[in-house]
Structure 1
Amino acid sequence: MAHHSRLSTLVLDCRVDDLAPHVAFWSAALSKAVASADEDGDGRYARLATAADEPVLLLQKVDHDSRIHLDIEADDVEAEVARLEKLGARRIEKRHAWWVMEAPSGHRFCVVRPQRTPPGPHLNRWD
């Protein structure tokens, strides 16, 4: 059965006590309005406004060193994870409904459920 995936989100992992000043910085630096200063109501996530054909820009409060990672959204998370494993990626940790993965290069990324609808023009189909 075919599944679909695409680049979904660029996540700015921020090792900070207070995310708000960093949201303000990236909002001004990228000229993107703050769409949500507290995405889940726990102070861990904030989202900048992006156009429908741009990746989501998410800031995430983390305990590890600051870095940027990307999310791949898929309509079948397990099928996408299996496809990426065949390419050399490995599973690191399952969190809620998504997987933290590691590319052969050592970069971490996540495979998540669809984040936006409609899926848009940049959707990949995998058979």
Structure 2
Amino acid sequence: MALEWEQIVVDAADPAALGAWWARALGWVVVNDDPEEYEIRQTADRLPGLLFVQVTDAKTAKNRLHLDFRPDDQEAEVSRLLGLGARRADIGQGEQGWVVLRDPEGNEFCVLGARAAG
């Protein structure tokens, strides 16, 4: 049996607003703009996607699953994401080579540093 990774599902109070934020942050396209199930992908025909679904309960703890991103320029990318509305997060990581941020609904994600050569 083969499995294909279709998407990551993200619980959201406002799926359309959070999905649109992530589409701007990643430069992805919207493939479903339903206000209760909002999906974005790198391109319309490329998987996996991010599917934002409406939930009524609030986020109460650190995410058990989070996304890591490796930009060409960490400092510039962190600044850009903060300008879009991300916030810095302290989840007990201490001094590390990555930066932990939160999206507008509080979901943590990491912006990694440069990949080591070799």
TM-score range for the pair, normalised by the shorter chain length: 0.3 to 0.5
TM-score between both structures, scaled by the size of structure 1: 0.39
Going by fraction, where is strand more abundant, 1 or 2?
1
User: Which structure is higher in RCO with an 8 Å CA cutoff and minimum separation 6?
Assistant: 1
